Structure formats: C-alpha cells, structure tokens
Amino acid sequence: MTSFWTLFSKELLRFIKVSVQTVAAPVLTSVLYLVIFGQVLEGRMQVFDGVRYTAFLVPGLVMMSVLQNAFANSSSSLIQSKITGNIVFILLAPISYAEFFWAYVAASMARGLAVGAGVLAVSAAFVELRLEAPHWTLAFALLGAALLGALGVLAGIVSEKIDQLAAFQNFVILPLTMLSGVFYSIQSLPGFWRGLSHANPFFYMIDGFRYGFFGASDVAPGVSLAIVATAFLAVALVCLLLLKSGYRLRT
C-alpha cells in the first residue's frame, strides 16, 4: 500500500504545487461562464419550475469543472512523464498496475473535486442554492471524477505526443461536456438531438449531479448512476488491461 500512497501523494503534490494554474484558474473560468451566461440568459430561460436559470446553471458548471479537471490531471501528468522520461521512476518500482491506475485516478478525483468545490463556493456567493439530495450530488461527483480520471489515464497511456492528447481533449472530452446539458435541459432540444444526448455518458453525470440540487432531472438518478458506473468499469477495465500489457509504457 505504501507504493500506492506514495504515487497518490506525489500526484496530489504535483497539482498542489501549481494550484494557481490547476485549481484557481479553472475556478475563475467557470465563474466567468456563470457571470456571462447567467447575465445573458437569466429570465429568458426557465428549465425547472421555481428554479432560476443561474441556479440551474451552477450544478452544471460545477460538474463540468469536476470532469474537465479530473481528466486534465491524470492525462497531463502521464503525458508529461512520458515525454520527459521521468515515468521511468514509476516503471522501475515494484508498483502493480492496479496501484498505478488507482493512484492516478484518486489524485484526479481530488483535483476535480477541489476545483468543483471552489466553483460551488464562489457561485454560492452570487446565487442562492439548495441541496435537496446531497448524497446523489456526492455520488455523481465522485463517480464522474473517477470516470474522467480513468479516461485521462487512458488518453495518457495511448497518446505519445502532446498534440494527440490535445486532440482527444478538444475533439472528445470538450464536445461531450459542452453537449451534456450543462447550459440547458435536453428536454428543450429537438427529438433527434435529445435522442443523441442520451448516448452521451456525460449527460447522465450532469443530470444526476443536478438532481441532488433540485430533486428534478431528465432521467431517474438511479438509472444515470448505473450508466456512469458501467462506463467507469468499462474504461477502468481497458486501462488495467493496457497497463498490465505495458502498452506504450514498456517497450
């Protein structure tokens, strides 16, 4: 277990040492989203009865921050270690592939949740929020961060260059996040796009997370949680198999 704790602590320290860039900057970005979209759309959109648009927006922005930063943590750490070569220190050590995977995922969860908590704390200063079912909020935050942390591990293993990782981030993670209902309810979409949104696992994370705040969602939270958990298990399995085989890590 010491190996796992050390790798986990190292990954924590790595982002804490540059927390202005890894925590404060994404919090600021999300708050800017809140200020701009809230200002423009407040009073023009009503998603749930009795819920102001800015209040509707906050959980989506919080979850988006959790997801994007969890992904950024594991993926950037791995690709940097691979490119600079210091991944060798981990590869030479008696660390099992499961310890490797969980340490990166757990540290990614920590960063995702830290940024999410920051966005929530700052937003609470502007917007009156209520938490109807905090256990759902927590469950989706943890599982969503774990899924994106695992996706970051996957992208970090598969990518050999920074631009490959950037392509994964810009063409997969970002569109899936932005089209997951952060800024709107999928009920407002035309039928085709609504159907397509149901194929996006990020939608279930945002929707379930939001349920914890308002007690209302497009899909029952239990169903969403099962879908997110299945997606996590699938990604985790692929990561563990790749790590066991040494794919793109050991020649």
Query: Which residue in 25, 32, 36, 91 binds other proteins (CB under 8 A)?
Result: 91
Question: Closest distance between other proteins and the C-beta of residue 173, in Å?
Answer: 24
162 binds other proteins (CB under 8 A): no
CB distance 139 to 230 below 8 Å: no
Told to check if 247 binds other proteins by CB under 8 A, we report no
Q: How far is the CB of 66 from other proteins (least distance, A)?
A: 23
Which of 123, 106, 122, 136 shows the shortest CA–CA distance to 208? 136
Q: Work out whether 250 is an interface residue with other proteins (CB under 8 A).
A: yes
Distance CA 131, CA 121 (A): 13
Q: Does 20 bind other proteins (CB under 8 A)?
A: no
Q: Which of 151, 142, 146, 194 is nearest to 174 (CA)?
A: 151
Considering only residues 70 to 89 of the shown chain, the ones binding other proteins according to CB under 8 A are: 81, 84-86, 88-89
In the complex, least distance from residue 84 CB atom to other proteins, rounded to whole angstroms? 6
228 near 204, Cβ under 8 Å? yes
How far CA 30 is from CA of 82, 85, 121, in Å, comes to: 30, 33, 12
Question: Closest by alpha carbon to 111, among 141, 91, 136?
Answer: 141
Q: How far is the CB of 15 from other proteins (least distance, A)?
A: 9
Where do contacts with other proteins occur on this chain (CB under 8 A)? 2-3, 5-7, 9-10, 13-14, 17-18, 81, 84-86, 88-96, 246, 250-251
